[in-house]
Chains A and B, each alone.
Chain A
Amino acid sequence: MNEKTILEVKDLDISFRTNAGIIHAIRGVNIDLQKGETVAIVGESGSGKSVTMKAVAGLMDANATVNRGQVLYRCAEDGKEEVIDLLTLSKKELRRRINGRHISMVFQDPMTSLDPTMPVGKQIMEGMLLHGGMNAAQAKARALELMNLVGITDAEHRMKYYPHQFSGGMRQRVVIAIALSGDPDILICDEPTTALDVTIQAKILELIKDIQNRMGLSVIYITHDLGVVAKVADYVNVMYAGKIVEVGNVNEIFYDPKHPYTWGLLSAMPDLDTDDDRLYSIPGSPPNLLHEPVGDAFAARNAYAMRIDEKAEPPMFKISDTHYAATWLLHPDAPKVEMPPELKARLERARKEAEKYI
């Protein structure tokens, strides 16, 4: 863990006990987050992206077991810096020291994450009164400040509103204000805009980015929308079946992806310039993690799968200092395989378009 790393998830491995059996949902995940940067985790539903972040935020369900791994967090308190493993803290300690104050979370659906029976102003102040050691007047002043920060006009008046009196975009702004009330270092956004319209989505993403620049936050996005990732992320982790299969900075992932799964995700996204008759879709569905996958978990859906994919799990192959991918295609002995020609043409176009801006 170097000086600038604020959070490091190290070889995290989690399984869940269910009636059907043990589900091995997270199978050795590594994620680095540097101070002030934005990391995105992309993947389909059930790939484990939310579970990973819930482990970081200490919100794991009771039937979860951490088999191994660490979540190291560089905690700066009272001028002192120390590295703590969040998984060793008790729930009580996490609540008291970490949640809200250092690590905050914004959830997908603002209607279910807000209390419908409490005015929003009170909800924003709640954390500050209980943990922040502020008196009512201070908390109110701070709440007003936060509401202005997240772009809610006429804050004094709107503090008294209930969540149902706000539109979806405004509600999400309230949730962001609550998340920021404890002055955290890390903001985890779990699909923050999936429930919102495109126009409002763009505004919320721009808002989070603006706040990040002003407050020096580090942000983790969990999403399945690659368009969102392109807009906000510095680094991208592509997750599949409880594993990170490709990691790189945003340009490496979008202009030079190496893993067939990333190819599939990118191809499945209709872009406004493609006129193909059929959209590419990744065949099949993600594996059921009740049964431990043998070899590469993606092999069954991978048109480029080789015999070794059925036998051994690929390690992370290094492409550049920041770019790694777990596919046997990158092994020096593997046949040279190119990405699908349609995708290649599309990426070529994207790169050309990008050059105009640089």
Chain B
Amino acid sequence: MNEPLLKVNDLKQYFPVSRKKVFKAVNGVSFEIYPGETYGLVGESGSGKTTIGRSLIRLYTPTEGTVTFAGQVISGALDRETKDMLRENMQMIYQDPMSSLNPRKKVGDIIGEGLDIHHRAANRAERTALVAEMLEKVGLSAAHAERYPHQFSGGQRQRVGIARALILNPKLVIADECISALDVSIQAQVVNLMKDIQAQTQCAYLFIAHDLSMVKYISDRIGVLHRGYLVETGTTEDIFGNPIHPYTKSLLSAVPFPNPEVEKRRVSLAYDVKEAGVDYSKGTLHTLQGQHAVLSTDEEFARWTS
């Protein structure tokens, strides 16, 4: 396989709570994303999935660990050049399109802002043309550039968010719960759109979500997070076909199926770290085969795989 686009090695992100206490949101997470692929991060709220996304795009400064993006280290202090490279090549789609779009700006200006900052358009006409092209790419029309965010429906607004992220042709897009706030049928539209754009532009996605069925559908590989630890990672087939970690199993058992007879008889598997007696800090990544790895001690690994 070719060089990874993004390499995260032992990323730690701590937040000071008081003078003495530190909240450890991310505890040594490592994964890689290859060009053009989709990596899904799943986990419950508070598992650190959003924090990872934000650390990668440098909304936070990582406490420890190295992040290499397109051959450059982006986890330490950034010089101007690296920063520009990062800002142009990594973009983010946020969860709630209403609060992530400036209500006082026209959609055309929201999308075009990146072009202005990075001087991508030579003149006004070119900028308008680029914005119009982008709008059409995400299934809106050029005329929509003159409207304000509140004049759109939820699904359309998320399309604007996608257009804004993609206008600079980034290599990696971090999609942070970007469909959770939408209706089921609109979710499908947005996910299809993201797939189409990926096919055209070969950008990679880091898809952060808690809805496993959507993650399965869009991702090539998946990482399961719990309490700031990456407890299991592997290809989509590995995670869904052969889950090893009890937390992954409990997550999978909680996904509701549209099948009433089955669903009424199924009871979700409960998983509690304390009850299960699993200490994540003691575990190391044990590789099963290929990319499939589980965070566990030797004893746990033997028990879970038997």
Contacts and interface: CB of A to CB of B under 8 A. Distances in A.
Interface of A: 44-45, 167-168, 197-203, 206, 224-231, 233, 250-251, 254-255, 264-266, 268-272, 274, 278-282, 285, 350, 353-354, 357-358
Contact of A357 (B186, B216, B240, B265): B265
B268 A279 contact: no
B212 interface: yes
B243 to A, nearest CB: 12
B212 A198 contact: yes
Contacts, number: 129
Given A197-B210, A272-B257, 20 more contacts: A197-B44, A198-B44, A199-B251, A201-B256, A206-B267, A224-B184, A226-B184, A227-B263, A229-B258, A230-B260, A251-B260, A251-B261, A268-B185, A270-B188, A270-B213, A279-B188, A281-B185, A281-B189, A282-B185, A285-B155
B264 interface: yes
| Closest A-B pairs by Cβ, 6 of them | A227-B256, A354-B261, A281-B188, A202-B268, A202-B254, A279-B188
B262 A227 contact: no
B228 to A, nearest CB: 16
9 contacts: A227-B255, A231-B264, A250-B260, A271-B257, A272-B240, A279-B217, A285-B153, A285-B186, A357-B265
B254 A254 contact: no
- Residue among A168, A229, A231, A250 with the most chain B CB within 10 A? A231
A228 B214 contact: no
Interface string B151-187: 0011110000000000000000000000000011111
Contacts of A225: 184, 256
Contacts of B192: 278-279, 281
Nearest to B264: A231
Interface string B128-153: 00000000000000000000000001
B250 interface: yes
B258 A271 contact: yes
Given A197-B44, A226-B184, A264-B185, A202 B257 contact: no
Interface of B: 44-46, 153-156, 183-189, 191-192, 195, 210-214, 216-217, 240, 250-265, 267-268, 270-271
A107 to B, nearest CB: 17
Contacts of A233: 260
B303 to A, nearest CB: 22
A100 B257 CA distance: 32
A45 B156 CA distance: 14
Contacts of B44: 197-200
Contacts of B257: 227, 230, 271-272, 350
Contacts of A350: 257-259, 262
Contacts of A201: 254, 256
A202 B44 CA distance: 12
B256 A265 contact: no
Given A203-B268, A224-B184, A270-B214, A353 B262 contact: yes
Contacts of B259: 230, 254, 350, 353-354
A228 B184 CA distance: 12
A316 B62 CA distance: 60
Nearest to A201: B254
A278 B198 CA distance: 13
Contacts of A44: 183-186
B269 to A, nearest CB: 9
A230 B263 contact: yes
Nearest to B210: A197
B136 to A, nearest CB: 17
Nearest to A209: B264
A165 B143 CA distance: 47
Contact of A45 (B46, B183, B256, B271): B183
Contact of B262 (A168, A229, A264, A357): A357
A6 B195 CA distance: 47
Contacts of B154: 45
A198 B153 contact: no
Nearest to A273: B257
A8 B80 CA distance: 67
A291 to B, nearest CB: 16
Contacts of B189: 281
A338 B122 CA distance: 54
A8 B154 CA distance: 33
Contacts of B263: 227, 230-231
Given A202-B268, A203-B268, A279-B191, A270 B183 contact: no
Nearest to A42: B184
A137 B44 CA distance: 38
A64 B260 CA distance: 36
Nearest to A205: B256
Contacts of B183: 44-45, 224
A161 B191 CA distance: 40
A199 B192 CA distance: 26
Given A272-B255, A279-B191, A199 B250 contact: yes
B69 to A, nearest CB: 29
B258 A254 contact: yes
B242 to A, nearest CB: 14
A129 B57 CA distance: 52
A270 B217 contact: yes
A264 B184 CA distance: 10
A354 B265 CA distance: 10
A270 B185 CA distance: 10
Contact of A198 (B184, B187, B195, B251): B251
Contacts of B268: 199, 202-203, 206
B255 A198 contact: yes
Nearest to A353: B262
B184 A202 contact: no
A200 B271 CA distance: 11
